[in-house]
């Protein structure tokens, strides 16, 4: 009975060592990640780039396509999240204005038709 107890303790200790090695010392490396896994500041900068280009192009559909690579979230939600981050960071006022403009224009866009609502 005592032997079984120590056997289980050894298994648990070994498992802990294995997980320590697998998670901390030598974790699985991800080299082909998607934009949805980007850290929030990188993701925010990407959205800012979309907003910068949108301010020059005024092509809302292109902006939506560019935002789509960030994941399944609706584009206006992605931009709103970034606006919160931009306010906390804080980003320059001009950058926040670009984000705000994009968010505003996305809100007027009908998601089903993909065109600005009347």
Residues that bind another protein (CB under 8 A): 3, 6-23, 27-28, 30-35, 37-40, 42, 45-46, 48-50, 52-53, 55-57, 59-62, 64-66, 68-69, 113-115
How many degrees, rounded to 5, is the angle at CA 97 between CA 36 and CA 72?
Answer: 20
* Residue of 94, 91, 75 lying closest to 83 (CA atoms): 91
- Smallest separation, CB 87 to another protein (Å): 20
User: 15 or 87, CB closer to another protein?
Assistant: 15
User: 56 or 88, CB closer to another protein?
Assistant: 56
Cβ contacts of 64 within 8 Å, gap of 6 or more: 75, 106, 109, 114
User: 104 or 110, CB closer to another protein?
Assistant: 110
- Smallest separation, CB 115 to another protein (Å): 5
- Smallest separation, CB 81 to another protein (Å): 14
- Smallest separation, CB 63 to another protein (Å): 10
Provide the Cα torsion 71, 46, 67, 85; round to 10°.
70
Task: Answer yes or no: are the C-beta atoms of 8 and 43 closer than 8 Å.
Answer: no
What is the length of the chain? Answer: 118
């Amino acid at each position: 009975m005592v032997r079984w107890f120590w056997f289980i303790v050894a298994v648990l200790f070994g498992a802990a060592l294995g997980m320590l090695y697998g998670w901390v010392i030598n974790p699985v490396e991800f080299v082909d990640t998607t934009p949805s896994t980007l850290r929030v500041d990188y993701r925010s900068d990407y959205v800012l780039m979309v907003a910068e280009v949108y301010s020059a192009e005024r092509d809302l559909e292109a902006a939506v396509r560019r935002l789509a690579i960030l994941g399944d979230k609706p584009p206006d939600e992605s931009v709103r999240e970034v606006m919160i981050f931009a306010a906390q960071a804080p980003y320059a006022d001009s950058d926040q204005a670009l984000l705000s403009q994009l968010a505003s224009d996305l809100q007027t866009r009908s998601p089903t038709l993909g065109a600005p609502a009347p």
